[in-house]
Amino acid sequence: MSAQAHSPAADASPRRYPPVAELAVASLALVIIGGIFMASYFPRRPPLGLPIALLGGSVILVAANTVILTRLREFAWDKFFLVGRWALAAYVIQAGMIEYAFVHNHASGGPLVLLTLMLVMFALNVPLIISFTVARYQTD
């Protein structure tokens, strides 16, 4: 018999986690679709029904992710928050630059508010995906 057959690492199954990253990717996809839809209309005023529905779906997915994350007990929270803080800082800057481009191109009123909310979702989802993925594979 080989040493691998009886090693603890070979017998241990990887821990199963809820689909946090998958839900965050779905939420991100919704706001990206909504943002592209809206950007395709500029400089004209875009219809807001579809983007509002997509943003609502994204918010629901983020709320579900928040509930799921609060129920995780054995998780590398220190790594999650360490990575999440830096990723959030980077994506807030990126979202701010995108926001500036829309303001500079004279977006205003309801479309600008909707785009701002979509950028907030963008700036939350990407760091969530990154930090959750890093933390789930920590062994300590």
pLDDT at 58: 97
Q: How many CB atoms lie within 10 A of CB 73?
A: 5
User: Residue 11 has what pLDDT?
Assistant: 46
Q: What pLDDT, on the 0 to 100 scale, is given for residue 12?
A: 52
**Side chain identity at 113, as an amino acid letter?**
V
Q: In this predicted model, which residue has the larger pLDDT, 51 or 4?
A: 51
pLDDT in tens, 103-113: 897 778 889 99
Alpha carbons 83 and 95: distance in angstroms, whole number: 18
Q: Is the dihedral of CA 87, 93, 96, 97 positive or negative?
A: negative
Give the pLDDT confidence of 67-116 residue by residue, as tens digits: 999 999 889 999 999 999 999 999 999 999 999 988 897 778 889 999 99
